[in-house]
Amino acid sequence: MTAPASPTPSAPSLQGPTLATQLRHTAGCVLAVEQGRSLSEVLPELVPALRPGVQALTFHALRHLGTARALVNQLVERKPAPPVQALMSSAVALLLDATDEHAPRYPAHTVVNQAVEAARQDRRTERQAAFVNACLRRFLREREALLAHVAADPVARWNHPLWWIERLQRDHPEHWRTLLEANNQPGPMALRVNRRRVERTAYQQALEAIGLTATPTGSDGLVLDAPQPVERLPGFAQGHCSVQDAAAQMAADQLLEGRAWTAADRVLDACAAPGGKTAHLLERADLNLLALDVDPRRCERIEDTLQRLGLQATVRSADAAQPAAWWDGQPFDAILLDAPCTASGIVRRHPDVRWLRRASDVDALVATQRGLLEALWPLLKPGGRLVYATCSVFRAEGDGQVQSFLVRHTDALHRPSPGHLLPGSAAPSGEFNDNPPGGYDGFFYARIDKVLP
């Protein structure tokens, strides 16, 4: 999974949407997440002029939602209707001290006034505008006491669901605090340079020529000092680079390292959309590559990605767990399984994920991952390699899944692999960590070779 860079918020211009309008739509986005909808569905529904500002405000609100909800609960005698609560939570999040340099900042009186105006703009909240005003002004008066009151609540302290916090405490007892803190900061914007079009050093110089500074990472990566619109990146439309986190770029290294590859080598990218890892493999080597994804619309994104980068692969919409429907019977030399997962490692870029997931989702996804591994292993030729990847920090989706697989398959050999990479500064040091600026997204990698008979 490739995640976008976090937006850099700014105050609206005189000609642009007012803060009240942005807050009204931010509350709508927060409410949609609370009702189970992903921001990747909700944000595209906004008109383009609203999207950047609302996305920035919504990301901030979701990064502080645990604290904001707890404070709202202290400010009211009865829980307000969901639209009112979403607006109040969004406003309270803006009134909190920011914990990252990219957070939106407005004078407190501006936030209160614009939140009241936002309430008046929406028929679901207009009758509660005075109530919103009273609660927010009370928060400003009693701020320190209210914050002290909610400080003992772990959800308010860490801005994650309790089950998520407890799982991280079990899975990463030495790093769980740092990991949760990292999740509440925006991730850096990393680029993957298309080596078929331009050398990385030359592309870095092209960035410097327009005033952008970047630091090399991995084999093909550059981490920008500050996020940029892709339209500003030299040669983006011509396929000179792609946006992809440094952790996601490690997939190609894991699959291709240690041998020469030719166009005769059959490679399967089993859950390929949106196509970033597919493209990286083809940028690195000539391969006979089949890219699968179960969603036809997401397959269109793979095609678009390959076209922009000047690459070719066979793209097919199919369920990788049902090979009888798509496999031609010829074994693969290598398989990349970037399996469906909780996405618990990319919360820096997708702050809604923590509020959308449920504890039961972990077990369900572990079962899906196991089914994919069992279905694809027979398709790998002896001597071939399978790379299992997830953008998760939960051990059940990483170490636990692989160790269980190795017990079931005596013809499987676990090769040296990165294992769990943790977000930001929580990432462990070691031979697989070049410590890119801002750290990695959370990921798991394991390379498993099929032993020759």
Tens digits of residue pLDDT in 362-409: 999 999 999 999 999 999 999 999 999 999 999 999 999 999 999 999
User: What residues contact 154, with CB distance under 8 A and at least 6 apart?
Assistant: 162, 165
Tell me the CATH number of domain 250-450, given options 3.40.50.970, 3.40.50.2300, 1.10.3710.10, 3.40.50.150.
3.40.50.150
Nearest CA among 430, 429, 425 for reference residue 187 = 425
User: Is residue 271 annotated as a catalytic residue, yes or no?
Assistant: no
**What's the average model confidence in pLDDT over 70-82?**
95
**What's the average model confidence in pLDDT over 193-215?**
98
At residue 16, the pLDDT reads: 81
For every residue of 438-453, DSSP letters joined together read: T-BPPEEEEEEEEPP-
- Single pTM value for the model: 0.92
Mean pLDDT lowest for which of 161-170, 249-258, 312-321, 433-442? 433-442
**What's the average model confidence in pLDDT over 157-166?**
98
Per CATH, is 19-157 categorized as 3.30.470.20? no
Share of the chain above pLDDT 70, in %: 93
**What's the average model confidence in pLDDT over 25-40?**
97
At residue 176, the pLDDT reads: 95
Angle between helices 162-171 and 176-183 (to 10 degrees): 130
- Banded pLDDT at 453 (limits 50, 70, 90): confident
- Does residue 12 have a pLDDT over 50? no
User: What residues contact 286, with CB distance under 8 A and at least 6 apart?
Assistant: 261, 262, 263
DSSP structural state of residue 424: B
Nearest CA among 123, 138, 45 for reference residue 84 = 123
- Catalytic member of 135, 241, 271, 391: 391
Residue given tokens 């439309």 in the structure block: 237
Mean pLDDT for all residues in the chain: 93
At residue 426, the pLDDT reads: 52
**Domain boundaries along the sequence of the chain:** 19-157, 190-243, 250-450
- Does residue 344 have a pLDDT over 80? yes
**What's the average model confidence in pLDDT over 54-77?**
96
- DSSP H helices in 9-105: 19-34, 39-42, 51-63, 65-75, 82-95
- Does residue 5 have a pLDDT over 70? no
Q: Do 421 and 450 meet the contact criterion of CB atoms below 8 Å apart? A: no
Q: Is 440 left (phi over 0), alpha (psi -120 to 50) or beta?
A: beta
- Does residue 424 have a pLDDT over 80? no
Give the β-pairing of 314-317 and 288-293.
Answer: parallel
Q: Do 297 and 271 meet the contact criterion of CB atoms below 8 Å apart? A: no
- Banded pLDDT at 67 (limits 50, 70, 90): very high
The yes-or-no answer to whether 190-243 and 250-450 have a common fold is: no
May I ask the CATH architecture of the domain 190-243? 2-Layer Sandwich (3.30)
At residue 427, the pLDDT reads: 53
Write out pLDDT tens, residues 282-313: 999 999 999 999 999 999 999 999 999 999 99
Write out pLDDT tens, residues 143-155: 999 999 999 999 9
